[in-house]
A = this chain, B = another copy of it.
Amino acid sequence: MRSTFVTAALVAIPAYTLADPLPSWNDTDAKAAIIAFVDSVTDPDADSFVPVEDRIATFDNDGTLWAEQPVYFQGLYALDILREKAEADPSILSSDVLQAANEGDMEGIMAGGMEGLIEIINVSHAGITPEDFKASAHEWLTTATHPSSGMTYADMTYQPMVELLRYLRDEDFKTYIVSGGGVDFIRAIADEAYGIPPWQVVGSEGNTSYSVESGTPTVTKDGGVSFVDDKEGKPVGIMRHIGQRPIFVAGNSDGDFAMLEWATAGDGPRFGLIVHHTDGEREFAYDREGHIGVLDRGLDEAEDRGWALVDMANDWSRVWTGEQ
């Protein structure tokens, strides 16, 4: 027999929470705006209805789907692999910038400029097949730990954003990552972390070549950078890979401004979302200043452009997928 306590509890729960698609979002304006938008484009009787083939959603990765402090995770990976390789074979430290990287000397790294950074990245990202690279990145992301949180990097994805991705897919959106980070690095974990298959990851690209090595057909990462999928590169990367303007876009920094500006200028209903890093307690608090994830123009213009500014401290009841 059901107790009256249980019955009362069931009655007391508002109807919508029975199917809350975004349980880690507080009941604030941001959550309401997302749900209202999704309802409006999926209602076949509404003027705002969008057919399934046009329901394209693109998400930045660093700072939008996972954390990006103190520096991009991919940079920390590159330094860890470099140190590991230098321990086995110190002769690989053949330049000032590689020595600076090995010692964690940030000023020395910066002094090398863009060429120096590519030199550092190439140690872990070149002369390797995409498959072997992804295996290495996956192992690092799931075992190495973040300097301040102590969590694995794979655990530092944002639970509310993972819920948002799943919610959109449940409503027949295609969800894409469109990141300034390297496409193979993200693909190493995207399916597991976000439910996003490799062919729905757009990112920066290095030079790649095909050859037959000792009878084995092989694709090899040759290093360097052949495409930068950041700032004005994001709309370009989207047109190259997807061939269509998204109707839902999410970012967190001015590196995402062009993607937001372009996507939300299209005809019909559009949704732009900016994750604002306001939570120094649970995550990191930063916006207009710094080396990573600067949000300045976006902060000034979000309201006028009708973009939802997500206040991490206020709008999210939980931050990490890794905390229970």
Contacts and interface: CB of A to CB of B under 8 A. Distances in A.
A187 B243 contact: yes
Contact of A199 (B130, B187, B208, B241): B241
Contacts of A174: 199
Contacts of A244: 198-199
Contacts of A241: 199, 241
Given A130-B239, A199-B199, A210-B234, 16 more contacts: A174-B199, A187-B243, A199-B241, A199-B244, A201-B243, A208-B239, A208-B240, A209-B236, A210-B232, A210-B235, A210-B258, A210-B262, A217-B235, A217-B261, A218-B262, A241-B241
Contacts of A184: 243
Interface in A232-263: 232-236, 239-244, 258, 261-262
A83 to B, nearest CB: 28
B130 A212 contact: no
Interface residues on A, range: 35 or more
Contacts of A218: 262
Contact of A217 (B216, B240, B262): B262
Contacts of A235: 210, 217, 219
A323 interface: no
Given A239-B208, A243-B201, A262 B219 contact: yes
